[in-house]
A and B are shown apart, each in its own frame.
Chain A
């Protein structure tokens, strides 16, 4: 009998090109997503060394980080140039590099353009059992489909372009087992924020996390993408969820997914991937789903979470002295005081978007809360940034854009937007933002900006009341 293996071990073993005695291996990369920010120096490196891209057919390029989310085509059908010369230069570099190296390119004003981690699954480029990389840490998202997917730096981008491989050491495996199901009004975002709060931002370092339990079996693919996306916020390079009938149904018929007899063969193979009974994980953590409340962050690290019904913690409440110090600095930056009720915290900005929460189900969840309401007077700026052009079109077909604009939101073009303050969408210094993104780091949404991470429904609830709000009170 063969050894019982985890999903991670099965994918790893199927991609070893060359095993070294020291335990590291050359691993084949099946899919490579390229965007404008972390690729220019890699293409420049190839050019200097006279190298070509080994497998342009396994590579897909799309701009997302820098693009303004204001209209990209004017009334006469002409492209509107990017005002910021540096952002424009990065976009131009990708526009030139992709065709020069024979890579398929989705342009800034194409219907399919969007955030790399939204379009990979949407196009069927991401498949179970494959290895997928991108010069972006939220590549972990694609693990939702059972792909071993992780973020890489620019030197590794260059290495993959040139060789279609990476020299890696095997990670440890970590099981996060969730017992039970989520309560009404509790979303996958609340679950992953809660998990990060339990294991901490370094809890998964050196590990690949596999999320297991009935809650994930019942969760939609889009919900799974939200969970796996934030694996990196727990320090793990990758997250994984076993592919199942939901995965296959999601992928079937997508433009770049296999067709006909190839599809049947692929599904047969994918069914062999889930972790075998009796397989061992290096580490295992159990989470009780009943403990998960609508969750928000209070500090400047994604582990700084609290139920929205809770209070800002006192720095002294942490056992670790350096965490106490970090908490003091966080509260100072966030303008909060210990003991303050989270439900009393007023917000001036709302951002619904990012690779974590910009898919159609996210927009539906937010629109459901907003329907028939106006944003509160105190909310100065509220934007919805769909994850891709196709998500945007779908939302418009369902009339969601009308709900958002009627409640005072701006309806934008797809991109990374206010998640990371690289394009014009920024939160002003000292102001708060209820944000569906993934990082609440100091200055992440703009210098001095104060970020509270939460789910799309919770961000919509905050827009309605003008303060952090338990969404269950609005939809109850």
Chain B
């Protein structure tokens, strides 16, 4: 995973609440066996409408998406995170995220930043004309107009994102503890293993 320390750029002021995973990428696009190329399927039903914010030339090349409450609700499809990544989005800012989506985003080095609605309202305004900056070191979102909003993230995630750490490698370094757990369960709960049919 590539380290993510700072994201700077224009932001798409989408703003919608309860954006579900089927809106981000519909099921028809889930038939791929690759992680790549899903950007063109992103927000298909939204982009079918004239004058939508995603196809507005003002936001071409944007690296941030601003949305409303409960972003990414619905299915567990990581394709939603892959699609956003493929369309060039590096960070999503919203008042709240579904649990599975924010985990999927994290695994792909995509920032999901939760800020209060007042901050979102202000950033939606700024996004129309100017870029915004997200700094992972100071955990802050800033604008050229001296706005500064700080956010929280669990320290483990922050460290993984900033150092680009591979989580599987980190866990495999704990294989002794995993094996100890397995041995404990095997001896105390013999019923635990599925019976081989």
A residues sitting closer than 8 Å to B (CB atoms) are 15, 17-18, 20, 22-24, 26, 28, 30-31, 37-38, 40-41, 44, 49, 51, 54-55, 57-58, 60, 65-66, 84, 86-87, 89-90, 93, 104, 123-125, 127, 130, 135-137, 139, 151-156, 158-159, 162-165, 167, 169, 171, 201-202, 205-206, 232, 235, 237, 255-259, 262-263, 265-266, 269, 301, 322-323, 326, 420-422, 439, 441-444, 447
Contact residues in A for B155 (Cβ distance below 8 Å): 22
Contacts of B28 in A (CB 8 A): 421-422
Residues on A with C-beta less than 8 A from B20 are 301, 439, 441-442
Whether the pair B27, A151 counts as a contact (CB closer than 8 A) is no
A49-B168, A151-B76, A442-B45 in contact; A60/B22 too (CB < 8 A)? Answer: no
Closest 6 CB pairs of A and B: A155-B107, A153-B104, A153-B78, A258-B191, A262-B191, A86-B31
Residues in B lying within 8 Å of A, measured CB to CB: 17-18, 20, 22-23, 26-28, 30-35, 45, 68-70, 73-78, 81, 96, 98-100, 103-104, 107-108, 154-156, 167-168, 170-172, 174-175, 177-178, 180-182, 185, 189-197
Asked if residues B22 and A441 are in contact (CB atoms below 8 Å), the reply is: yes
Taking each of A51, A137, A237, A266, which has the highest tally of chain B beta carbons within 10 Å of its own beta carbon? A137
Q: List 21 A-B contacts (CB under 8 A).
A: A17-B178, A18-B177, A28-B178, A41-B78, A54-B178, A60-B194, A137-B75, A139-B76, A154-B78, A155-B107, A159-B167, A164-B182, A202-B18, A202-B70, A235-B99, A269-B189, A301-B18, A322-B17, A420-B22, A439-B74, A442-B45
| A23 pairs with B154, CB closer than 8 A | yes
Cβ–Cβ contact A152 & B193, under 8 A: no
Interface centre among A17, A31, A124, A326 (most CB of B within 10 A): A17
* Total A-B pairs, Cβ < 8 A: 202
For the complex, give the distance between the alpha carbons of A18 and B73 in Å: 29
Residue of chain B at shortest CB distance from A86 = B31
Whether the Cβ atoms of B167 and A44 lie closer than 8 Å is no
The residue of chain B having its C-beta at the shortest distance from the C-beta of A154 within the complex is B78
B18 engages A442 (CB within 8 Å):
no
Do A235 and B70 form a contact, CB below 8 Å, given A41-B33, A422-B27, A443-B22?
Answer: yes
Give chain B residues whose Cβ lies under 8 Å from the Cβ of A256.
Answer: 194-197
Whose C-beta in chain B lies nearest to the C-beta of A31? B194
Contacts of B107 in A (CB 8 A): 153, 155-156
With A86-B31, A201-B73 given, is the CB distance from A155 to B189 under 8 Å?
Answer: no
Contact A41 B70 (CB under 8 A): no
Contact A26 B195 (CB under 8 A): no
Tell me, rounded to whole Å, the shortest Cβ–Cβ distance linking A282 to chain B. 15
Contacting residues, chain B, for A322 (C-beta < 8 A): 17, 68-69
Residues of the A chain whose Cβ atoms lie less than 8 Å from the Cβ of B70: 201-202, 205, 235
- Per the bound structure, the CA–CA distance linking A322 and B18 in Å amounts to 10
